Structure 1
Amino acid sequence: MHRYLTVAEVTESARRLVSRFPGACRLRRIGTSRAGRPILMLSVGHGQRHVLVVARPHSDEPVGGATALALAERVADGDRRSRATDPDTVTWDIVLCLDPDGAAQSEGLEAATAAPGHTLDRYYRAAFRPVAAEQPEWAPIEGRRLPESRALFDAIDELRPVLQCSLHSVDAGGTWVQLTRGLPGLAAPFRASATSVGVPVQHGTYDALYWENPAPGIHVLPPPDSTARLAAGSENIGLSTWCAPQRYGGVTAIVEVPLWATGTADDLSPHPDPAGALRELSGLVREGGRQVTAVFEKARGFLPPAGDSPPRRVLEWMADGLYDLVAESWEPLLRQPDGDSGTTASPRLTTAGISALEVVARRQPLRAAGLLLRLLRAADDPAAAVLHHELDELFTIWCTDFEQSLRLRWVPVPDQVALQTRTVVAAAECALRR
């Protein structure tokens, strides 16, 4: 398998697995999306303990569907090399796509990233990620009640999983794992899995900027009374689907693998000027956001209304202070004095840590620009073509700068799947030993 699978292909493959292994596999509908699309769960095995796997929680992160099928086939085949994949011991419950509506907005992403076309330019023109309040895992934090979130909460309450694995991918960087509670023993097999496919372990990440970091690439959610959370907007993270298994003693692992690896993701050398670099990156994300927003403002009058257009809602959300929020989230790092001993101790201020923040600074304007280019291309107004040309020139320059600055290298899809699969199985083994 050398490309990502569409939701339809994942579903059809799951149905074939049920036909091949009728005694081991069951497929059922656990919910319905806002637009009426089914949310399906494939269960494999008959063990009393449950591992819950959630694929495609973000619509612009396509690797999870292939990983879900690889895990399902391994368990259905009766793989007893690991207690975790023994179908008599553990039941694997696999949500094939948590956000089918978002995936529909990202239709074409699979073809856009198929070899030989896997370039940032093609990826960001096809990718779609909804506003935070429409992301099923994250919406409860925003006070939004989505049927997709409800379906997952209900599955957690029914299954009481010892482990929930959320299958994520990052556009560029290295690989890492976020945990809602520590899983002793995971670091070594995780690192070995990354090494086996030549993917760097990410040291320092925006997604868990202030989380506990007990081992390279392993990040653990701080206690509820801690102010150290995600970089921004996660004060109520306890309301998310990630934390729901804790009611039953379970733990969640968010497993991130990169589409493109960066050349500095595992470079632990102290950055020569972290404060200067952070100021530069803050300016980069703000200026890129300003330029996209300027084009957006000119196009507002002939774009579809936000109520009818998920991409328009994202553009409104990003224009309403998101770029500043991203830049401000790492300002506490700027307050660390130059030459402070923390420069060598903190992964956030190494070359790797700064490069992880550079990924964020560069991708935020690109996400918005890709969506706006899509809307401008479909618009009838004569001004749309002029604005499209103006923004397309910026977009192309930004993609080239991104690729060159961070020395991006495409990670073959089979390697992404192998890394994510092995990490999930290792996490399950650790959770079962608890």
Structure 2
Amino acid sequence: MTATNGPLREILERAHRVPDLAHFPGVDEINQRLDDLTEQHPDLVTRRRIGTSRLGDPITMYSIGDGPEQALVYAGVHPNEPIGFWTAIRLAEDLCADASFRAGCRWHIIGNIDPDGTRLNEGWFDGPFNRVHYTANFYRPAPQEQVEWTFPFQYKDAYFDRVLPETLALMQVIDEVKPTIAVSLHNTELGGVYYYVSRELTGFVDELHAIAASFDLPLDLGEPETPVVEPYGPAVYEMISSKAVYDYVEALGMPTPNDSGSSSSAYAARHGTVSLVAELPYWTHPSIDDQTPTESPYQQVLAAAADELESNLRTLDEIFRAARPYLSDDSQLVRGVAAFLPYLLKRPERERRRAAEIDPERRATVAEVFGLGDINRSFRLRYGGMLLRSLDGEIARGSASAALYPPAKRLRAVYAEWQAEARSLDEQLHTVPIKHLVGVQYAATLALLAAVRREAP
């Protein structure tokens, strides 16, 4: 464990007590564990239904602690990111077990804000934990169906008010609780640890670095998730802003986004809330934090990656266009593919325009070369897997048109090649123990509250 002093040391000691975990909990297990805790501690836990999912699952919040500070923690905003399910459960368990821990702050915990989407990911929650199995059972909602990005948004020519029932439930909680801190529990896929914070806090970047180091996890020092964010320090960024994304795309002279809204962090900011996202990977690779310059100009690496991504996406788009007339309109998987392919197909041209503005003498680092290549690998595995599930699901119903079989056959062959390439990389990857992922996310959550307290008047 990294040598630290004071409150952070106590936080890390608590985070390192997370037990071994061999799977990720699905919807029913999350509910059962938190409900059991409520039954065991009726004097400590207040359970309240705050909403209903689009497919009829209840959404429940569990409140524990004394206040006056208010903390809001919510998992499942992206249902393919289940580390936060365990973080929410562990936080609730520790609050019930330790009176001194829950003193001074009332914690409001939403164990799963998107049960519908989570159920479509449960096929990989029990492992095996490799990328082939993961992406073959992967589901990510269309942007306009993601809880995290369907808060009301109006900026320049952009307007979004198609708030989901799940998002409305979270909005109402935010307005009621007016949290001191809000932690949206996300995670990434392959890479290192990185964070988003809604504002700078004295000493917090160093603490976030120390948390990752204490679990022997590298920081992600390669290509950031989006070029619009400003770094507060290595692998620590300002929160992604829909306004910044709009301005960035507009400046490139490309069509501005209008298919999703603002984030939970932006919405909570009206109450002075400080928000955090801790992004943790299932797998790491030796190149993730390697800042060694390569012989390759960054401009060329970025442009080549854009070309490869476009080729992959065009293949998926051709298959989807051939299959689309024969696919069910009510499928979440189909809606996801239909939304993501046009959205992602804009990315290569954005990257090429960005590349044109980069100093041609700047050399790409090892981390950047690996990161750009792996973004492409991730996209084709994820959305190729979703499309294949859409086609196979329609065929499995027993009423598919004969015209659906040729595109399905083509996709199986293409996707098998992509899976084989991913499988060849497996021996280079390190699968991070789930308890370490939960530990980092848990420690970062507690460190945020401590940092905000330090700056309180």
Query: TM-score with structure 2 length normalisation?
Result: 0.83
Q: Which residue does 2:47 correspond to in 1?
A: 27
Alignment deviations for residues 253-288 of structure 1 (CA, whole Å, 9 cap, x no partner): 111100111322211223432112111210121111
CA contact (8 A) 1:299 1:384 kept: yes
1:67 Cα shift?
Answer: 0.9
Q: For residue 144 of structure 1, what is the aligned residue in structure 2?
A: 162
Given the superposition, is the C-alpha separation of residues 172 and 79 from structure 1 closer, same or farther in structure 2, using an over 3 Å criterion? farther
User: In the TM superposition, what are the counterparts of 1:96-111 in structure 2 within 5 Å?
Assistant: 96-111=111-126
Q: What does residue 304 of structure 2 align with? A: 280
The equivalent of 2:377 in structure 1 is 362
Partner of 1:246 in structure 2? 269
Partner of 2:235: 217
Alpha-carbon distance in structure 2 between the residues aligned to 1:355 and 1:155:
40
- Look up the equivalent residue of 2:350 and give its one-letter code: E
Residue pairs, 1:314-325, within 5 angstroms: 314-325=336-347
Deviations 1:324-361 (A, max 9, x none): 33551573244212124xx5xxxxx5332343333322
1:336 aligns with 2:361: no
Structure 1: 5+ residue runs without aligned partners?
81-85, 344-348
Q: Which residue of 2 aligns with 1:64?
A: 84
Aligned residues: 416
- The question of 1:409 aligning with 2:430 is answered yes
Partner of residue 177 from structure 2, selected from 152, 156, 159: 159
For 1:310, the equivalent position in structure 2 comes to: 332
1:34–1:248 CA distance, 2 compared to 1 (3 A)? same
Which amino acid is 1:171 matched to? E
Which of 197, 217, 231 is residue 199 of structure 1 equivalent to?
217
Shift of 1:151: 1.0
Residue in 2 that maps onto 1:346: none
CA contact (8 A) 1:178 1:208 kept: no
1:55·1:167 contact (CA, 8 Å) conserved in 2? yes
Q: How does 1:217-236 map to 2 (within 5 A)?
A: 217-221=235-239
User: Are 1:425 and 2:437 an aligned pair?
Assistant: no
Deviation at 1:158, TM superposition (A): 1.0
Q: Are residue 123 (structure 1) and residue 134 (structure 2) matched?
A: yes
The answer on whether the counterparts of 1:176 and 1:257 sit within 8 Å (CA) in structure 2 is yes
Q: Please say if residues 7 and 65 of structure 1, whose CA atoms lie closer than 8 Å, have aligned partners that are also in contact.
A: no
AA aligned to 1:250 is T
Q: d(CA) in 2 for partners of 1:228 and 1:352?
A: 27
Give, as a single letter, the amino acid of the residue that structure 2 aligns with 1:247: R
2:26 paired with 1:18: no
**Partner SS state of residue 186, structure 2:** strand
Contact 1:221 1:229 in 2 (8 A): no
For residue 251 of structure 1, report the CA deviation from its aligned partner: 1.0
Please state whether the residue corresponding to 1:264 is helix, strand or coil: coil
Question: Which sits farther off after the overlay, 383-392 or 92-101?
Answer: 383-392
Gaps of 5+ in 2: 1-20, 154-159, 251-255
Distance apart, 1:228 and its partner CA:
8.8
Question: In the aligned structure 2, how far is the partner of 1:365 from the partner of 1:148?
Answer: 28
Asked if the contact 1:209/1:231 (under 8 Å) is kept, the reply is no
Give the letter for the 1:311 counterpart: L
Deviation at 1:13, TM superposition (A): 0.5
CA deviations over 1:16-35 (Å, ceiling 9, x no partner):
11122222222211111222
Indicate if the aligned counterparts of 1:54 and 1:165 stay in contact, CA closer than 8 A.
Answer: yes
The code of the aligned residue for 1:287 comes to S
CA distance in 1, matches of 2:162, 2:178: 23
Displacement of 1:191 in angstroms is 1.8
* Residues 120 and 226 (structure 1), Cα distance of their counterparts in 2 relative to 1, 3 Å cut: closer
1:170 partner SS: coil
**Residue 82 of structure 2: SS of its match in structure 1?**
coil
Q: Are residues 295 and 228 of structure 1, via their aligned partners in 2, closer, same or farther at CA, if it must alter by over 3 Å?
A: closer
- The 10-residue stretch of structure 1 (119-128 or 213-222) with the greater mean CA deviation from structure 2: 213-222
Q: Deviations over 1:58-103 (max 9, x none)?
A: 01111111111111112221164xxxxx212111111111111211
SS in 2 for 1:272: strand
For residue 283 of structure 2, the aligned residue among 241, 260, 276 is 260
- Cα deviation digits, residues 279-304 of structure 1 (max 9, x gap): 12101211111111222222223221
